[in-house]
Amino acid sequence: MTDGYVQQPGSNTDVRVDGKRVAGKIKFNPPGSGGSRPEMADRDMDFIPEVEGGNESQPAGQHLHDKYRTGTSVGKRTPLVDGNAKVTGQAWYGDDVRLPNEIIGRIVRSPHHYAKVKSIDTSKAEALPGVLAVSTGADAPQRFGVLPVTKDEHAMAVEKVRHVGDLVACVAAIDEPTAREAAALIEVEYEVLDAVHDPKKGLLDVDDPIHWRGQYHIGSTNVQKRVFQEFGDRSKLEQARATHHGKWKFMGVNHGFTEPHAVVAHWDSNGRLQLYTPQQVPHYAHRALATVLDVPMHQVNVIRTFVGGGFGGKSDPFPHEMCAAILARKAGRPVRITFDREEVFWVNRGRHPSHIEVQMFADEDARISGFEIDALIDGGGFASFGHVTSYYNGVLATAPYELGSFHYTGARVWTNKPASGAMRGHGAVNTRCAIEVGMDDLAEKLQVDPIDLRLANLLPPHSKTITGFRITSNGMRQALERVREGSQWDSKFRKLPLGKGIGIGCGFFISGSGLPIHWDPNKFPHATVHIQIDMDGGVTVHTGAADIGQGSTTAIAQVVAEVLALPLEMIHVRSHESDTSPVDLGSYSSRVTFMNANAAISAALEIREQLVDAASGILDMPAEYLILNDRRIYSKRDPAIGVSYLEALHKSQEDKGALIASGAYRTPPMGGVHKGAAAGLAPAYSFSAYVAEVDVDVETGLIKCTDVWAAHDCGKALNPLAVEGQIIGSCHMGLGQVLSEQMVYGRTGHLQNPNLLDYKIPSVHEMPNVTPIIIESCDPEGPFGAKEAGEGPLLPILPAVVNAVYDAIGIRINDLPLTPDKVWAAIAKKMKREDIAEAQDLPTPRLDFSELQQKIVQRSSQHGGRDSRRQRSEDTDPYINGVLFGFDPTVPPEDQDGDWKIAVRPTSEQLEGLGLAGSAWTKIEQRKMEDGK
């Protein structure tokens, strides 16, 4: 260990008294003195695009940011800039914030599923020595919720408790034992109400719905949101050559982040609230805190600690954050509340338990003539992000395939369970699993290869989906081709012996939500970034982007470093405090890289312009002759003619001091005009295709996923190391849902496994060997071409595994997770039905191609040419969903065909035939009832 491991440069030989090595002193080198790296490095031509004269190939065409590439950082495998804090234990998470004089808060939770709170007696708790504050719902009557349209939460129960674990009261005391004891001394009198646990029962009229929405309430049911969407021509469905019908049940799953929620609230000496919380979305927490505490937003400073995993589970404003602030205000001392793992399950916000029914149709040319989806999702006790989830379960199934028609009915119901919410792959995961398995089944019925069936039905780049989403870059085709090749699909599919199987699945996800949650008339940007450079040359980047481990801080630092051609170590990202960070909407809907990095680039470009102008003045040379590289600005023709970055900086600082620039990002206008058109809109979409190989033990039903080839189109990998990490991590989380994870509610509706022993997250032994494959389709609007890589990669793993299980044992199971008991029951059932004595004699599916196979291979090869042309083209012709069915791409299909429909409400004739979730439409809203209520 002679060199390396240098935390700070300097002596490697000096040792401390304990024999360990001492950090070296940092030498400060006056300008021009040389320093630790006195000479400029060569331009790294491997990371400069072809069009700019470099060696980086651009199969997907040019990008408007190409001319700002300096070969410094973008595209290089970059360790996280906060990695050293994490490996040394210095990263400070929620519970690591220890303020002087702190006291400990505990929350009193409901033991009942559903009850009226008749009275709360806090006197015994208050009398306990060491108790400094007690609070109940009466202290915070204001409602809040992450979505402004569904504010249905309180800091603590005001009238009713809605699930076991719902907050009733809270206490703060000098230490944890006293706080726990005080919590136990709070006496609550409940009147227990009839609880609803089965989401199907949530569709029925009841005496006492879990929430009451006044004139907008749907009947007297527990339906929180219902959606109906119909697009295209359904009249052709009857002539389908192949149909698929799948009825699915998905259990709820929890994010399972390793850091339990924790919060520290402190009202400082000026009476401002300083709230430390591991939040993915500090801005919405900021808004909700101001509302509930009845203080202006500028009197609240939300400090995001390091976040020990989010995955959507730390994106709501939480009642315990309010509780900590209320207790701290009452006690006059900082209050820290840390959850037990059990409490994490009570606050939940995990993926919705769902009943999903899909019907899919393919016509005589193996085109997809229609998707019909019905999704009933179990929202638990609160709305959370559910309004959006209700849409996403349908609309995110409208790509990557070109559809003849699309019909979706969705409903989200309140039940007396911990609330469901947003979780990685928000709303898209379960439906995606159902339709990708449906594609596999359609391929089987058409007797074609499922990858070829997909390749022959893809929407091209720069096209519009049937619901009007604007697709820009699209690497779906390359993703499918790469996994087919990597997995040696053609020599394995339907050819493996019993118990071994291979399966394919695709994914499609938004890269940032097109509209902000707070639909703002003032047209605030989605992301704002400030850059500040003082005379020392260090670049301070202020952003509100919440790094939750995905590496957003690193990505922001990288793009700024790239534009300014500075080493990453000179970029300092400050993103923790709302006092200093400009508003960023937070880490959800896979928006951070796309939106925040775009904002950072625009701020950096402003700085770049000032530096280049200054250099141009010093050198007396036009700005367009200058290039930036490694801390210098110099002539393109002769690198010796130039100035250092610091010289240019000091020149441009004359008379004004620090350079400051602000950049912002807003989405372009897009989307249709129908109700719900905004849900699922995004400035770009990611695409992915996975092939999974499994071993199924036919004697026990145990499934082991052995290999995954995972191709994901992220536009451009700013940091391939992080993108691969996201892909592999997504496989892990998706495998959990498909093989082992479930929130088990017993017969009485009680959650039986609120701990990490019974809630089975895959360990290292369950992980397959994942081969991540990065597809770069160069998104025209993304930062340097990048799109999301955090959520989309989760989607394909579920159907890939389910399809692989079918390939292995010839049985489709539509009930996740595929635990051994379910798999074995399905095997036993099949053996009984087909009179098979030994499991080893189960037949495995085999494939004989029909005449269609050749037809679709031909079509997909034609489309391949079309797609590569469209991908590169600078201004592409219009392409709307429907061209495959003979429509003219320049005219909306509804104007070409009288049978082409766009509807967002069912007609009265349709009401009878709707599915489970669709039946929510048979109820009438209160305001439309004659007598009212």
Partner 1 sequence: MVGDEHVSMIPAAHTKVWNSEVNGQPQEVLAPSNAVLLDVLRDKVGCLGVKRGCDMGTCGCCAVMVDGQPRLSCLTMAQDVQGSTITTVEGLADGAHLAPIQQCFAEHGGSQCGFCTPGFLISSQALLDKNPNPTDAEISTAIEGNLCRCTGYQQIIQSIQAAAEIHRGDASPAKPASSAHSDPHPSGPN
**284 vs 311, which CB is nearer to partner 1?**
311
Alpha carbons within 13 A on the beta-carbon side of 774: 23
User: Which of 55, 84, 215, 862 touches partner 1 (CB under 8 A)?
Assistant: 84
Stretch that binds partner 1, among 21-29, 51-59, 321-329, 499-507 (CB under 8 A): 21-29
Residues 6+ away with beta carbon under 8 Å from 528: 543, 544, 582, 583, 584, 599, 662, 663, 664, 665
Binders of partner 1 among residues 341 to 370 (CB under 8 A) are: 341-342, 346
Q: Is 551 one of the binding residues for partner 1 (CB under 8 A)?
A: yes
Binders of partner 1 among residues 607 to 636 (CB under 8 A) are: 630-632, 634
List the one residue out of 551, 550, 476 whose CA is nearest residue 796.
476
User: Which of 6, 45, 658, 911 touches partner 1 (CB under 8 A)?
Assistant: 6
User: Which of 23, 192, 904, 924 touches partner 1 (CB under 8 A)?
Assistant: 23
**150 vs 616, which CB is nearer to partner 1?**
616
Which pair of tokens denotes residue 204? 């029925």
**78 vs 229, which CB is nearer to partner 1?**
78
Q: Is 46 one of the binding residues for partner 1 (CB under 8 A)?
A: no
Stretch that binds partner 1, among 308-316, 575-583, 586-594, 656-664 (CB under 8 A): 308-316
- Residue 28 burial (CB count, 10 A): 8
CB of residue 26 to partner 1, shortest distance in Å: 6
User: Which of 66, 647, 693, 776 touches partner 1 (CB under 8 A)?
Assistant: 647
Binders of partner 1 among residues 565 to 584 (CB under 8 A) are: 566-570
Stretch that binds partner 1, among 107-115, 491-499, 596-604, 670-678 (CB under 8 A): 107-115
**92 vs 524, which CB is nearer to partner 1?**
92
Rounded distance between C-alpha atoms, residue 644 and residue 333, angstroms:
51
Block residue for tokens 């970029």:
571
Rounded distance between C-alpha atoms, residue 918 and residue 410, angstroms:
6
**136 vs 860, which CB is nearer to partner 1?**
136
CB 144 within 8 A of CB 294: no
List the one residue out of 783, 386, 381 whose CA is nearest residue 545.
783
- Residue 172 burial (CB count, 10 A): 31
**178 vs 777, which CB is nearer to partner 1?**
178
Rounded distance between C-alpha atoms, residue 837 and residue 200, angstroms:
38
By three-state DSSP, how is residue 24 classified? coil
Q: Is 20 one of the binding residues for partner 1 (CB under 8 A)?
A: yes
Please state, in angstroms and as integers, the Cα–Cα distance from residue 803 to each residue in 439, 690, 740, following that order: 10, 11, 17
User: Which of 137, 380, 461, 642 touches partner 1 (CB under 8 A)?
Assistant: 642
Which pair of tokens denotes residue 587? 């880490």
The dihedral region occupied by 596, where left means phi > 0, alpha psi between -120 and 50, and beta the remainder, is alpha
Which pair of tokens denotes residue 691? 């092939």
CB of residue 288 to partner 1, shortest distance in Å: 24
**444 vs 724, which CB is nearer to partner 1?**
724
CB of residue 578 to partner 1, shortest distance in Å: 21
Rounded distance between C-alpha atoms, residue 423 and residue 353, angstroms:
12
CB of residue 98 to partner 1, shortest distance in Å: 7
Q: How many residues bind partner 1 (CB under 8 A)?
A: 124
Q: Is 665 one of the binding residues for partner 1 (CB under 8 A)?
A: no
CB of residue 638 to partner 1, shortest distance in Å: 9
Rounded distance between C-alpha atoms, residue 314 and residue 323, angstroms:
16
Q: Is 548 one of the binding residues for partner 1 (CB under 8 A)?
A: yes
Rounded distance between C-alpha atoms, residue 316 and residue 254, angstroms:
14
Q: Is 100 one of the binding residues for partner 1 (CB under 8 A)?
A: no
Q: Is 606 one of the binding residues for partner 1 (CB under 8 A)?
A: no
Instruction: For residue 788, give the DSSP letter.
Output: -
Q: Is 765 one of the binding residues for partner 1 (CB under 8 A)?
A: yes
User: Which of 215, 700, 748, 755 touches partner 1 (CB under 8 A)?
Assistant: 755
**723 vs 914, which CB is nearer to partner 1?**
723
**355 vs 732, which CB is nearer to partner 1?**
732
DSSP for 241-296 reads: SEEEEEEEEE--B----SS--EEEEEE-TTS-EEEEE--S-HHHHHHHHHHHHT--
List the one residue out of 446, 499, 424, 347 whose CA is nearest residue 734.
424
CB of residue 9 to partner 1, shortest distance in Å: 6
Q: Is 80 one of the binding residues for partner 1 (CB under 8 A)?
A: yes
**725 vs 817, which CB is nearer to partner 1?**
725
User: Which of 100, 214, 637, 764 touches partner 1 (CB under 8 A)?
Assistant: 764
The one-letter amino acid at 804: A
| Cis peptide bond upstream of 400, omega within 30 | yes
Stretch that binds partner 1, among 34-42, 505-513, 699-707, 919-927 (CB under 8 A): 34-42
Binders of partner 1 among residues 210 to 229 (CB under 8 A) are: none
Q: Is 744 one of the binding residues for partner 1 (CB under 8 A)?
A: no
Secondary structure, 3-state, 346-415: HHCCCECCEEEEEEEEECCCCCEEEEEEEEEEECCCCCCCHHHHHHHHHHCCCCCECECEEEEEEEEECC
Binders of partner 1 among residues 108 to 137 (CB under 8 A) are: 109-111, 128
Q: Is 767 one of the binding residues for partner 1 (CB under 8 A)?
A: yes
User: Which of 232, 308, 680, 906 touches partner 1 (CB under 8 A)?
Assistant: 308
User: Which of 51, 92, 498, 707 touches partner 1 (CB under 8 A)?
Assistant: 92
Alpha carbons within 13 A on the beta-carbon side of 671: 19
Binders of partner 1 among residues 521 to 540 (CB under 8 A) are: 536-537
**32 vs 843, which CB is nearer to partner 1?**
32
**96 vs 198, which CB is nearer to partner 1?**
96
User: Which of 114, 228, 284, 306 touches partner 1 (CB under 8 A)?
Assistant: 306
**90 vs 854, which CB is nearer to partner 1?**
90
Instruction: For residue 153, give the DSSP letter.
Output: B
| Cis peptide bond upstream of 817, omega within 30 | yes
Binders of partner 1 among residues 48 to 77 (CB under 8 A) are: 76
Block residue for tokens 């040394």:
88
Which pair of tokens denotes residue 97? 């914030």
**Helix 645-652 and helix 597-619, axial crossing angle in degrees, nearest 10:** 90
CB of residue 732 to partner 1, shortest distance in Å: 3
User: Which of 147, 397, 423, 649 touches partner 1 (CB under 8 A)?
Assistant: 649
Binders of partner 1 among residues 147 to 186 (CB under 8 A) are: 164-165, 175-178, 180-181, 184
